[in-house]
Amino acid sequence: MNLEKAKVLDNQKILPNYWQLDLYAPKAASLAQAGQFIMLQTTPYAEPFLKRPMSLNRINPEEGTLRIIYQIVGKGTQILTTIPAGGEMDIIGPQGNGWMIQKDYRKALLVGGGAGIAPLLQLAINLAEKEIKLDILLGAADRDAIFNHQEFLQMASVSVATMDGSRGHKGFVTDLLPQTPDYDMIYTCGPNPLMEKVALWAGQKGQACQVSLEERMGCGIGTCMGCVCKIKSKDGSIAYKRVCKDGPVFDGEEVVFNG
């Protein structure tokens, strides 16, 4: 496990409710894999008490940097916006398992919703480097919550859905799921209902699928059993697994949503 004092290189608003945070954290950057996250301490004081889990949007081991894209949700993320370039923050990470990629994949689908788009960019970059063909579906409430669109366009065909129709298809991003998919792997991150739909659809179509789950975390390092999710094993038995340590990425087929 890596504890590090990260230096803030840049912290700026990119959309009305989203900020982009660039950190210099050479040790974490050298260890990190796409799909992993860090625990980020928003203040050196005890309020707010818990660290915030944030996915890695970009990993640059050569320069020792990590990029986070965060949505302003409450107290912790509001405090984050006040930390200027040059500031420091304690981080733990990288944590968790990250996305699984196999060498022989030829074609993959990425489905992201809201803040769940964040961990898909580094994944897309890694897949594109391996010359895996990509289709990408992005969804959000409105166009002000779609980020990284340009970056994705450089690597793949991208379709967008917004609930208010301000960009792309009007409705759920899952409306855009194809009838006859032929992917080696489907990757998804976003609100639970989105991932549940994608996992169900993938299962029906006989496609393999990885989901990156979110849960409220206590320690973020695997000790407290706070952030568990329900996982069904092959024999049908149910166990609670830790999102922070056994995940956040799970096989879509194993996850019991709504539980």
Partner 1 sequence: MADLSVCVAGVDLKNPVLTASGTFGYGREFAELYDLSLLGGIVVKGTTLEPRLGNETPRIAETPCGLLNSVGLQNPGVEKVIAEEIPFLRQFDTAVIINIAGHCLEDYGKIASRLDKVEGIAALEVNISCPNVKSGGMAFGTDPKVAAGITACVRQNCSLPIIIKLSPNVTNIVEIALAVEEAGADAISLINTLLGMAIDIEKKKPILANTVGGLSGPAVKPVALRMVWQIAKAVHVPIVGLGGILTASDALEFIMAGASAIQIGSANFFNPMAGPQIVEGIHEWLDQHGVKDIKEIIGAVNQ
Ligand X SMILES: Cc1cc2nc3c(=O)[nH]c(=O)nc-3n(C[C@H](O)[C@H](O)[C@H](O)COP(=O)(O)OP(=O)(O)OC[C@H]3O[C@@H](n4cnc5c(N)ncnc54)[C@H](O)[C@@H]3O)c2cc1C
Ligand Y SMILES: Cc1cc2nc3c(=O)[nH]c(=O)nc-3n(C[C@H](O)[C@H](O)[C@H](O)COP(=O)(O)O)c2cc1C
Q: Give yes or no for a cis peptide into 181 (omega within 30° of 0).
A: no
C-alpha pair distances (Å), 148 with each of 7, 37, 98, 137: 23, 18, 20, 12
Distance CA 198, CA 135 (A): 14
Binding-site partner at residue 223 among ligand Y, ligand X, partner 1, none, CB < 5 to 8 Å by type:
partner 1
Question: Least distance from C-beta 224 to ligand X, angstroms?
Answer: 12
**Of these partners, ligand X, ligand Y, partner 1, none, which one is at the site of residue 177 (CB under 5 to 8 Å by kind)?**
none
Beta-sheet strand order (sheet of 107-113): 169-170, 157-162, 133-140, 107-113, 185-189, 209-212, 249-251
From the list ligand Y, ligand X, partner 1, none, which binds 53 (C-beta under 5 to 8 Å, kind-based)? Answer: ligand X
In the numeric block, the tokens 């059993």 are attached to 225
Which of 171/218 has CB closer to ligand Y?
218
Token pair of 67 as six digits: 């990029």
- Does position 73 bind ligand Y by CB under 6 A? no
Give the CA count within 13 Å in the CB-facing half-sphere of 172. Answer: 11
202/26 Cα distance (integer angstroms): 37
- Site for partner 1 contains 73 (CB under 8 A): no
Closest distance to partner 1 from the beta carbon of 22 (Å): 24
b/e per residue 210-239 (b: at least 16 CB within 10 A):
bbbbbbebebbbeeeeebbbebeeeeeeee
Query: Does the protein bind ligand Y through residue 222 (CB under 6 A)?
Result: no
Residue window 83-112: x/- pattern of binding to ligand X, with contact defined by CB under 6 A: ------------------------------
Tell me which stretch binds ligand Y (CB under 6 A): 52-60, 63-71, 170-178, 218-226.
218-226
In the list partner 1, ligand Y, ligand X, none, the entry touching 3 (Cβ below 5 to 8 angstroms by class) is partner 1
Q: Does 3 bind ligand Y (CB under 6 A)?
A: no
Site for partner 1 in 208-237 (CB under 8 A): 215-229
Contact call for residues 21 and 10 (beta carbons, < 8 A): yes
Residue 49 engages ligand Y in binding (rule: CB under 6 A) = no
User: Considering beta carbons, is residue 163 or 221 the nearer one to partner 1?
Assistant: 221
72 sits near partner 1 (criterion: CB under 8 A): no
Binding stretches for ligand Y (CB under 6 A): 218, 224, 226
